[in-house]
Amino acid sequence: MSKDMDIRHRVLHSTDITPFQRRVYLELLNVPRGETISYGELARRIGCRSAQAVGQALRRNPFAPEVPCHRVVASDGSLGGFHGERQGEMIERKRQLLEKEAKR
């Protein structure tokens, strides 16, 4: 089983996440390495009106970094949050992850 199929399988069959989280994580797996998506666009893709709800699901992402929540940014292009933080060490980590992916 490929790495991508393995994580999809784990997300699909996890009993530790809600159906909403499952939809968020599965859709996020469609965002290619080196690209980003806004919280609002991710919400729209799964039929949700709340970018904030998507952010809360990502904050609880038990599959990170395989489900790459670091690829989700604010609609104004800023980094938004990461692991429930909006500044400091975690945002720096998000920036580094995105930078590393952009170089590949």
Q: pLDDT digits over 19-76, tens only?
A: 999 999 999 999 999 999 999 999 999 999 999 999 999 999 999 999 999 999 999 9
Q: pLDDT band at 3, cuts 50/70/90?
A: low
CATH number, domain containing residue 73: 1.10.10.10
Q: pLDDT band at 2, cuts 50/70/90?
A: low
pLDDT at 72: 97
Domain holding 57, by residue range, is 3-103
Label each residue of the chain as H, E or C: CCHHHHHHHHHHHCCCCCHHHHHHHHHHCCCCCCCCEEHHHHHHHCCCCCHHHHHHHHHCCCCCCCCCHHHEECCCCCCCCECCECCCHHHHHHHHHHHHHHHC
Task: Report the number of distinct structural domains present in the chain.
Answer: 1
pLDDT at 55: 96
Q: Choosing from 69, 72, 73, 98, which is the catalytic residue?
A: 69
pLDDT at 85: 86
Q: pLDDT band at 83, cuts 50/70/90?
A: confident
Active site residue 69: yes
pTM of full prediction above 0.85: yes
